[in-house]
Structure formats: structure tokens, C-alpha cells
Amino acid sequence: MSQSALVLVNSSFQLMCALEFLLKNTDSYNVLIITSEEPNSPSYQQMLRLANDFNIYKIDHISLVHTGSLENRIACYGEYYSENIKDLTFEHVLLGDVRYQWIQDYACSVNANNIVMVDDGGAVFSIIKYILEPIEFTLPFYANSAGTFSRRELARGIKLGYGMDVRTRKLSLFSLFHKQVTGDVSVNDFSKIIEFYNPTNHFEPLNEAHIIGAPFVEHNLLSQNAYLNYMGELANANGYDKDIKLVYFMHRFEKDNHVKNAALEALGYELRVSEVNYELALIQSAQKPRVVGSIISTSLYNVKAIFGEQVVAIFVPLQQAHLDLYRETNWIVDKYTLAQHWQNIIEHFPEYHVFSLREWNPQHV
């Protein structure tokens, strides 16, 4: 049995990029979408709303197990593969975050003609530099290099029991960062998503500066005072016209931090929560701000890809002391640290005309 695409994603932005690929490369919405996000989570609900717009009314869910025996941790997604995927053939397999083991195992086992990693924001820079380039853009890779040969052989045997014959597969990329990639890559420019929601390609300008929030405080990466100091720098930037409205778009993990949110309002921000990822919210509303800013948010890249020089993008650099806190802290996998991850995002900002707040000297926007 053949289907056009298998989509393995864990965020609405990854799904948006996968849909952009499909709109560019196929006429069929015969798509199977799978996620490990819980159905009651905001992320899952965002993905479902986006899929519904394209007449896709179901996103299958697997519940991952992170503790206990190796058999149980593989069974939680192996059973789904055996019952639902093993006998299918796909033209395309589209992957979001390849650091997830279940995504690698599915992609490297399934019958498919084309395996493509779509954008996952600035995480792509570190994934390419520290994971994919050293192994020549192939999967699978071992997220934890401390694993023993015998344990890997045990895992392989368990996976084979569910029909997952994990083998080396070549990977191509679909990315807005195509200029930074030496491998097989095609261009993601969001043009088909824009055409779908906004056929006239007209965006009403707003006299607003949008600051993209991030859960640094909620994830214990920065103190609340440190984070608010950064937001104060963005709120008090010299380049704004005096009548511009400052809008802070909260990350979903920030909504319940009432003390911090009250402090943000005291800095002059109007707080907003979007039901979809920020970039898609702009496309669906057919609106564009004058300025978008953050500390590190990869939305800055995405906004520049969509609007180019029509929207100014700025960031407030992390202090060296805050980067130094995470020089030894691995980030999701043991291939790079959190500090390296942040630096990889920041170092490419100039190539995309994203300005440091301390270098930004506009005539007014």
C-alpha cells in the first residue's frame, strides 16, 4: 500500500515546513502525520489546527517511555510501527527533529523513496555542524556515544521484532538555511504556505514591535531578573518611534508565570499568546510588524525569510557570563553543549540582516 508522505514532527513549525515541502512537491494530501507530543498539549493542538486547514483531520500519537527496560522504551513506539507502518510505502518521509530516537528508527526502517529533514528553527545549525556533516548526512546516529556495542545489538534485535530493520539512509534537507549547507538541500521560503493563506501576498503593516518570548526562566536557564533586564533593553531601544506599540508574544511555557508577566507589562509590553507558531500567525492574519526582536529566537530568521527588508529584526546579545554557565552542559544529545547551540544561532544572524541591538542605529522605524 502506498501513501504520498509520512510526516514525523513534534511542533507546529516543523509541520508547517513539512506542508510547505508537500505543497511544492506533490499534489496529494495522502499524508500520515505522527508525533510524540501528548494530545492535550498546546503543541499537539497547534499542529492539529494547522493540519485541519489542509483537510488532514488526524495526527497519530505515540506515548514515549523514558525509564525502565530497553524493551519497554522501544515497545512504546515499536508496536505502532508494526501495526501501522511496516507494510506501507511512502514517496516522502519528512522529519522534524532527528535527535529523537523514534524518528530515526522509523525513517531508517520504512519503505520510502525520499527522506528529508525539514527546518526546526536555528537548531538546524547545530544538528548539521555537529551531527550530520561528520557522518555525511546519513542516519542513524547515536545520540549518546557512551552506549555499548552489546546494548546497541540488543536494541537492534528488539526493533527487528517490531519490523524495524534500521539501516543507513541518506538524508536530504529542505531548509531556509540552504546557503549554509553543503549537502543535498532544497529551498524552504514559505512561499506556498503564504499563497495558501494569503493569495494576494499583501500584508497590512502594523505600527508594532513584536518581541518573541522564550522560557529561559521557566526552564531555569536564566534568573528572572536577568531575563527581565534583557527585555528591558529591547523595550528601551532607541530606534523605535515614540508611538510604536510594544507587544510581547509569550511562549506557551510562560503563560502561567504571573509575576514575570506583570513585570513585562510594567516595562510597557502588551502581552499576547498565539494559538499557532508566531510566523504562521503573521501569515494567517496577513499582517506584519515594523520590528521583531528577541534574545535568541529563531523566529528572527523566519521573519526575514518571509518579509526580507520590510521588517527589521533585532536581538539583544547574551552576556558572556550567561553563555559561560552552559559551556559544559550537553543539549539534548552529547554532540554539543547548550552554549554552542546558542552561539551557532547567533553567529549566523548578520548573514540574514538580523542586527544586534547594540549595533542597530536606525533613523527610526
Q: Give dist(CA 122, CA 107) in Å, integer.
A: 22
Q: Which is it for the CA torsion 137, 104, 191, 307, positive or negative?
A: negative
For CA atoms 23, 24, 28, 34, give the dihedral sign.
negative
Q: Domain segments of the chain: what residues? A: 2-189, 204-356
Backbone phi and psi for residue 103, each to the nearest 5 degrees, phi listed first:
-65, -45
The CATH fold assigned to 204-356 is: Rossmann fold (3.40.50)
pLDDT tens digits for the chain (365 residues)?
Answer: 445 899 999 999 999 999 999 999 987 668 999 999 999 998 999 999 999 999 998 999 999 999 999 999 999 999 999 999 999 999 999 999 999 999 999 999 999 999 999 998 888 889 999 999 999 999 999 887 767 788 899 999 999 999 999 999 999 999 998 877 777 899 999 999 999 999 999 999 999 999 999 999 999 999 999 999 999 999 998 778 889 999 999 988 887 889 999 999 999 999 999 888 999 999 999 999 999 999 999 899 999 999 999 999 999 999 999 999 999 999 888 999 999 999 999 998 998 999 998 888 665 45
* Cα(177)–Cα(188) distance, integer angstroms: 8
Which of 110, 63, 104, 113 has the alpha carbon at shortest distance from 86?
110
